[in-house]
């Protein structure tokens, strides 16, 4: 199975800087058939980068979008406007959930709108540090997973990518800690089992599940070999050329 390395650039890089950085990545990156490399720059950079990107090597993702196609929604960008420009969209990232108050209902509408516009949603789910401390991890994961998929038809669930990102492991968290491969294995199994129970065993086995949270070249191999993990969502390490390309190399070697 293919693996996925997604670089979430968050709010970094002016358009010119993004373009130079993409140029450098493409120069360094061979064409890997079995690793899907995806970068998620800010909205402003998507259009120029879409003209520059070598689609045999990499694909573009948006970091967010709004579920209505058009109308009185000042400041928003719709999935229909992104159609053809990006192949993927990150949806429900914990920064969207906690800083911008997106709930499962809104996230579900976004997942549906992405699929309707032929954009693969990367649905992010993950528990906070206190939810984990109170033993609520499994409930939070099930609620966010089934909540986020609630507007999607059964057959379309297979086209969603799920990214498990424990909020406490994201590098920008106040006291970020590394998730152990065992922590990741347990939740990834729960994700697959939950999907399997609700949408059928085959979908549970085949759905793409990624991990994210302080991924860097020294831990990428360990996370990629966790059973059931198909890829990595990389934040801060994706902003450093050598680290991002090293992670892609590691993914290539793990799959070989």
Q: Binding string, 7-46, against ligand PGA, x = CB under 6 A?
A: -x--------------------------------------
**Which one among 106, 170, 179, 226 touches ligand PGA, defined by CB under 6 A?**
170
126 is a contact residue toward ligand PGA (CB under 6 A): no
Task: List binders of ligand PGA among 202-231 (CB under 6 A).
Answer: 212-215
* 165 vs 183, beta carbon nearer ligand PGA: 165
State how far the Cα of 146 lies from the Cα of 193, in Å rounded to an integer.
Answer: 12
Dihedral pair phi/psi, residue 120, rounded to 5°: -75, 120
* 80 vs 171, beta carbon nearer ligand PGA: 171
* 88 vs 199, beta carbon nearer ligand PGA: 88
| Catalytic residue check, 93 | yes
Q: Could you tell me the smallest distance in angstroms from the CB atom of residue 115 to ligand PGA?
A: 21
- Taking contact as CB under 6 A, which single stretch among the options 109-117, 185-193, 218-226, 234-242 is the one that binds ligand PGA? 234-242
**Which one among 236, 240, 252, 254 touches ligand PGA, defined by CB under 6 A?**
236
* 110 vs 204, beta carbon nearer ligand PGA: 110
Q: What residues make contact with ligand PGA under the rule CB under 6 A? A: 8, 165, 170-171, 212-215, 233-237
Give the active site residues: 93, 165
């Amino acid at each position: 199975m293919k693996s996925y390395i997604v670089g979430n650039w968050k709010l970094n890089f002016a358009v010119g800087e993004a373009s130079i950085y993409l140029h450098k990545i493409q120069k360094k990156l061979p064409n890997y058939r079995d690793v899907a490399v995806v970068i998620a720059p800010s909205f402003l950079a998507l259009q120029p980068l879409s003209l520059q990107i070598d689609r045999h090597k990499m694909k573009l993702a948006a970091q967010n979008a709004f579920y209505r196609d058009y109308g009185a929604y000042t400041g928003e960008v719709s999935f229909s406007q992104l159609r053809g420009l990006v192949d993927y969209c990150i949806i429900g990232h914990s920064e969207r959930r906690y800083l911008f108050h997106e709930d499962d209902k809104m996230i579900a509408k976004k997942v549906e709108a992405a699929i309707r516009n032929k954009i693969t949603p990367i649905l992010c789910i993950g528990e906070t540090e206190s939810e984990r401390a109170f033993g609520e991890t499994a409930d939070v994961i099930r609620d966010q997973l089934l909540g986020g998929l609630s507007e999607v038809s059964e057959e379309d669930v297979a086209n969603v990518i799920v990214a498990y990102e424990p909020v406490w492991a994201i590098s920008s968290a106040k006291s970020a800690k590394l998730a152990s491969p065992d922590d990741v294995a347990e939740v990834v199994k729960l994700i697959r089992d939950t999907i399997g129970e609700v949408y059928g065993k085959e979908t549970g086995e085949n759905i793409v599940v990624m991990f994210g949270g302080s991924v860097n070249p020294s831990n990428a191999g360990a996370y990629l070999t966790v059973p059931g993990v198909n890829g990595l969502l990389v934040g801060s390490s994706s902003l450093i050329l050598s680290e991002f390309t090293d992670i892609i190399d590691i993914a290539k070697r793990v799959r070989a």
